[in-house]
Amino acid sequence: MSEKPLLNKVAIVTGASRGIGKGLALAYAEAGADVAISARTIPDLEATAREIEARGRKALVLYMDAYDYPSVEAVVDKTVEHFGKLDVLVNNAGGSRNVQDGWKGFLESSYEVVDEVFRLHVTSPYAAARRAAQAMIRQGTGGVIINISSALGFYPSTRVQNYSAAKVALNEMTKLWAVELGPHNIRVNSIGPGITRSATTEKLFADAEAEEAAAQTVPLRRLGEPRDMASMAVFLSSDAAQWISGATVMISGGQRYT
């Protein structure tokens, strides 16, 4: 793979204000792409944008509420309007208030919890991917869509059933979209991070001791870093992966969930 495998490409990274999303956005800039970044926290996005520009690439800051489908679609529309094209969409926006609120099982979860999780992790990426695919088809130049899933989408957990089920659904949709969009030269893949340093893990681990205990559950004995996900995303977006579509790649340091 060349030093700048995405030179002059245009990428969207949702949920790019911090954590994995910020790592993805910076990696795309380092790979030569201009990057549209979206989230609800504009000051954090602006800080990310400055780091993208420091790498010699252009950044576009866009507000997005992942629960609001018109807001999601507008990110794609504004990116195409601003840059004149779209080559890559990374559906990274995630997290969930209810996931952090108790990791509840089937008997304890309300309808509202299920609706919220699926809206954020299934229907919102669906809205973004459909809008992006439509733009890519109009361009006639193909493109790449990457869904950021979870290791729990490969190994669902009874402790966090709704989130696991949503990520399973997203992985399966990835395969279906790949089949439908393949004739348009649009590749679709998903990445499933294991326990990775992020805003969510900061809330889950109260102190260094708790974080170290979590790291010891990983065969490689460390937590994932945003760069671990970013390197795979850049690869999947490059010509080096031009015959990879419909794949679901778990990046978890060898960890399996039960």
| CA 150 vs CA 17, 92, 192: distances in Å | 19, 11, 4
CA-based end-to-end distance of the chain: 36
Strands 143-148 and 10-14: unpaired
pLDDT of residue 238: 98
For residue 251, tell me if it sits in a domain: no
Q: Which of 28, 63, 111, 163 is the catalytic position?
A: 163
Q: Nearest CA to 10 among 97, 78, 93?
A: 78
Phi first, then psi, for residue 203 (nearest 5°) are: -80, -30
Do the domain assignments include residue 201?
A: yes
Share of the chain above pLDDT 70, in %: 92
Q: What is the pLDDT of residues 67-116, one digit of tens each?
A: 999 999 999 999 999 999 999 999 999 875 544 444 677 888 888 888 99
Whether 105 is in a domain gets the answer yes
Instruction: State the pLDDT at residue 210.
Output: 80
pLDDT > 50? residue 233: yes
In a domain, 258, yes or no: no
Residue ranges making up the domain that contains 117: 10-245
Strands 186-193 and 143-148: parallel
The answer to whether 163 is a known catalytic residue is yes
Is 199 contained in some domain?
yes
| Digit-coded pLDDT (tens) for 124-136 | 999 999 999 999 9
- Would you say residue 224 lies in a domain? yes
In a domain, 240, yes or no: yes
